[in-house]
Structure 1
Amino acid sequence: MTPHHDEPFRLHTPEFSGLNQQLDRRDFLKRTASGLGALALGSLLGTPSFGATPILPKAKRVVYLFMAGGPSQFETFDYKPKLQSMLGAALPDSVRKGQRLTGMSANQASLPIAPSVYGFKQHGSTRTWVSELLPYTAQVVDELCLVKSLYTEQINHDPAITFFQTGHQLPGRPSIGSWVSYGLGSENQNLPAFIVLVSKDASKDQPLYARLWGNGFLPSEYQGVQFRSGKDPVLFLNNPEGYDGTDREQMLGYLSQLNSLQNDTWGDPEVNARIAQYEMAYRMQTSVPEVMDTSQEPDEVFDLYGPGSRDKGSYAANCLLARKLLEKDVRFVQLYHQGWDHHGSLPKGMAKQCKQIDQATAGLLIDLKRRGLLEDTLVVWGGEFGRTVYSQGKLAANDYGRDHHPRCFTMWMAGAGVKSGFSYGQTDDFSYNIVKDPVHVHDFQATLLHLMGVDHEQLTYKYQGRRFRLTDVHGKLVKGILS
């Protein structure tokens, strides 16, 4: 952006003149290494290099519906009819096999089996079992690729969510959306490649931290940008009071020249990242109000997503907004919906949660498909772990709770590159252990990147002397779910 004045802007002060001195050997090597890293990016993404075979992307974009708290597989998709005759019976030691429990149920005198109080029916041409709590999702079950054999090592919320989102249980790594943004860039120069939406109507049982969509050690331009309901969808985007667009453009022009001089002198990639962020913010002043405005959507669309879709910031409204963002070629859209941590009163809590998300989730799939977007969009639904077959605390008539269970749980994908109307993996009769086709969190991450045309082993970033990647040193492609 060029400031509005006749003469080009120059920095003549002695302090800035010193920045133009010749680089010493250490600075030269630092800048050269950065340049070589940029040149090598193509090979990191699986593009042809030294005989390598490129990965053809199936998905251009992703919408990831993250159900924070750990939805119970027993009340959603993992039907276990044999449990109905085992109400209140102790979980057999042969099933548990001495596996660790959380501190919330480790001291219980017994672990009474709690069958789901909700019924299941078969739906779709695939006759897939779906809980009565999800009637709208049941109508689109032929679009889903259910993965019933996910597992993780993390047994508590914060490390489990952090692990799913960043590939490591400790904070500090880049989020999955940041890795995608870094590896593939943006197809819309007026909107961020990675946008985050958080439901305002969800129970805040477990906290969400901005680091879950943070850039970690990647340049800051790749962090997720949270869009909010209310007057300011993006914080600090609007001009301050009494400050017009011309003033902001001129200020950014001067600031860009200062940052460019700093970058020319020191070669710090974070300077370029900051320049890109300022320029993106300026463009977003026009693009964000337009994409956030759903007032022109016909009544039929609001009816499709459900009554909550008119309430900005609700899960349903965020699903509708996600469709608009995907239409604008935003690369990675992530919705967070809290409230799934049901240690007690699970039947009541699950009914509430499912009602909040069911119609809008199905509506999003229907809307994407009829607009021709589902064929190159990957939709993901799931939480950080599952729930136990036994009741945490006292088991009462039609009332029970379930503790955290990392050893097996269900997620689903739909759309680009995955089989539709398909179930992958199998758990035992207690949904306690996996008996067929286990899928680790790193396997899920590797598969998501593959669907976007990225080799998870090649997409790396050198930090503090080591090359890091989303899947760390693990992960394999889940070929059985690919279409």
Structure 2
Amino acid sequence: MSNLKSPFPIYNPVSRRSLLRSASAGFGYVALAGLLSASAPTAYGLTADPTNPLAPKQPNFKPKAKRIIFLFMEGAMSGLDTFEYKTELQKSNGKSAPGGGLLNPSKFQFKQYGQTGSWFSELMPNIAKHADDLCWLRGLHTDTPAHPQAVVQLHTGSANAALTRPSMGSWLLYGLGTENQDLPGYVVINPTPNFGGAANYGSAFLPAYYQGTSVSDQGFMPNVQAASPHALEIEQLDLIQTRNHELASSDGAPDVVEGVIKSYELGFRMQDKVPELLDITKEPQKVLDAYGIKPGLEGSFARQCLTARRLSEAGVRFVEIRQPGWDHHTNLHKGLISQTSMVDQPTSALLADLGQRGLLDDTLVIFGSEFGRLPAAQGNDDGRDHNITGYSMFLAGAGIKKGFSYGATDELGINAVDGRMHINDLHATLLALMGLDHERLTYRYAGRDFRLTDVAGIVQKDIFA
């Protein structure tokens, strides 16, 4: 294990009064305690404040987007039943499918929308209203059909569970810093323990202050509210931070101490800002109605979408929201009706709301899963198995062509045959939209330079506006 220190300057001992203004309520401490010491990162980017690694940094080139909202459909939704209409599949009910099984056409009605004539099933009538604003990636493929590895690969660029890599949000925060110094730059709403859990939004060997911050779908962020009376809390934090600074200044101090210090500082500032920001009840009733806000599980995704808009508007660099429950090996028909009823209206409302506020001009929205579903029936003819060789996502907002479709799968929706994009290509393209060169965004760890795209990745500029 390397003991090299981070090039980011360690804060000098400060007065008790200034420390009181910058201490926090323990945000992120548990996660930080388990991280390994990392090698010094490669010099990267220019920051307005060299003493603050979270300060905004200059990108490699002019960005087309300033922030990202990722709507992750966890479990692999079936594009063949939502927005991938395949005429040949609809005519081939019961015929033998390549690779085994019998072909199973969608039971849902499809029609075309907008001037682009994009196909949507009856499950997505609200998202369909944005047909001419979407950019489709229809030739995606990935490496593994196992959910845990595929989800981790989508988030970190690597399916190798033996060496956890930093998540895409952490790489963006490392490369660009954050716009609002009183808020975390990377937030994950409704994180689940499924399919890799915290590895999907962790910073791995990047400094700990680049990891994602979790928020529940009820707007709860752990460790932000003070647990003690204010005066007592100040004394406690003063003591903790003083000891942290002493440890950070000592010979051989582990790098994670700096992450602890930064997280405490950020957490203290967040006490004033975050509770109000996460309180969506302050929104006008017409906004709540547009998103379909309701209590309980059925309103979870709607609450997440509105929270994501509020966070993005406040300057959070990367927000991910999660909707689990798309793993339909059985009960496909009823399962999709249930899932899309929770997702369709809020997604449409988020796109409309961002547009009305002028945020869609510099915010990139991503909607998709870790892989797709096969056209063959599974089980009792009401399920679909995993498909990693050809599936779709859509983008909306900053930097991309509107009403555009890139790539395609074959006539049955099995294999990507045109405009093929591997996950490494997707990551390279998303970084480029944010103004980052994926080959230059590196971090030295364990004797080699790592990057989100490993040794691959091609930027697909055909989708750029």
Q: TM-score, normalised by structure 1?
A: 0.82
Q: Which residue of the partner structure matches residue 42 of structure 1?
A: 45
Match of 1:223 in 2: 211
Residue 178 of structure 1 corresponds to 170
The amino acid across from 2:436 in the alignment is V
2:26 match = none
Residue of structure 2 in register with 1:364 after alignment: 350
- 1:249 is aligned, of 213, 229, 234, to 234
Equivalent residue of 1:413, what SS?
strand
Alignment size in residue pairs: 420
Shift of 1:2: 4.5
Query: Per-residue CA shift, 1:281-314, capped at 9, x if unaligned?
Result: 1111111111011222111101211143798971
Deviation string, structure 1 residues 177-202 (Cα, Å, up to 9, x no partner) = 111111111111111000011189xx
Residue 11 of structure 2 is matched in structure 1 by none
CA deviation digits over 1:329-367, x for unaligned, max 9? 000000011011000121111111111100000100000
What amino acid is aligned across from residue 242 of structure 2 in structure 1?
A: Q
Matched residue, 2:96: 90
1:417 to 399, 402, 406: 399
Query: Is the CA contact (8 Å cut-off) linking 1:308 and 1:315 kept in structure 2?
Result: no
Q: Aligned partners of 1:348, 1:386: CA distance in 2, in Å?
A: 18
SS at match of 1:414: strand
Do the aligned residues in 1 keep the contact of 2:189 with 2:217 (CA within 8 Å)? no
- Give the alignment partner of residue 250 of structure 2, picking from 259, 262, 265: 265
Is the aligned partner of 1:209 residue 2:197?
A: yes
Report if the CA contact (8 A) 1:2-1:253 is conserved: no
| Cα distance in 2 for residues equivalent to 1:301 and 1:278 | 34
In 1: Cα distance, 2:185 partner to 2:323 partner? 21
Mapped partners of 1:327, 1:311: distance in 2: 25
Alignment-derived partner of residue 147 in structure 1 = 137
Superposition deviation, residue 256 in structure 1: 2.4
| Residues 84, 279 of structure 1: alpha-carbon distance in 2 compared, 3 angstrom cutoff | same
Aligned counterpart, 2:187: 195
Q: Is the 8 A contact 2:217 2:301 kept in 1?
A: no
- Distance in 2 between the 1:472 and 1:313 partners? 38
Match of 1:64 in 2: 70
Distance in 2, matches of 1:90 and 1:312, equals 38
Counterpart CA distance in 2 for 1:140 and 1:119 is 18
Does the Cα contact within 8 Å between 2:147 and 2:195 map onto a contact in 1?
Answer: no
- What 5-or-longer segments of structure 1 have no aligned partner? 6-29, 45-52, 97-109
Q: Which position in structure 1 is the counterpart of 2:360?
A: 374
In structure 2, give the amino acid aligned to 1:164. Answer: L
1:74 is the counterpart of 2:56 = no
Distance in 2 (alpha carbons) for counterparts of 1:114 and 1:2:
70
Cα distance in 1, alignment partners of residues 46 and 450 from structure 2: 16
Aligned to 1:235: 222
Distance, in Å, in 2 between the alignment partners of 1:163 and 1:208 is 10
Q: For residues 312 and 58 of structure 1, what CA distance do their matches in structure 2 show?
A: 34
Structure 2 length-normalised TM: 0.85
- Displacement of 1:207 in angstroms is 4.9
Give the SS at the match of 2:401: coil
Deviation at 1:54, TM superposition (A): 3.7
> Residue in 2 aligned with 1:343?
329
Match of 1:118?
A: 108
CA distance in 1, matches of 2:433, 2:295: 30
Which amino acid in 2 is paired with 1:151? H
What's 1:302 paired with?
288
Alignment partner of 1:274 is 2:274: no
Conservation of the 8 A alpha-carbon contact between 2:92 and 2:105: yes
Identity %: 42
Cα 1:165–1:55 shift into 2, 3 Å: same
- For 2:263, the aligned partner's letter is Q
Displacement of 1:475 in angstroms is 0.6
> Unmatched 5+ residue regions in structure 2?
1-13, 19-36, 48-58
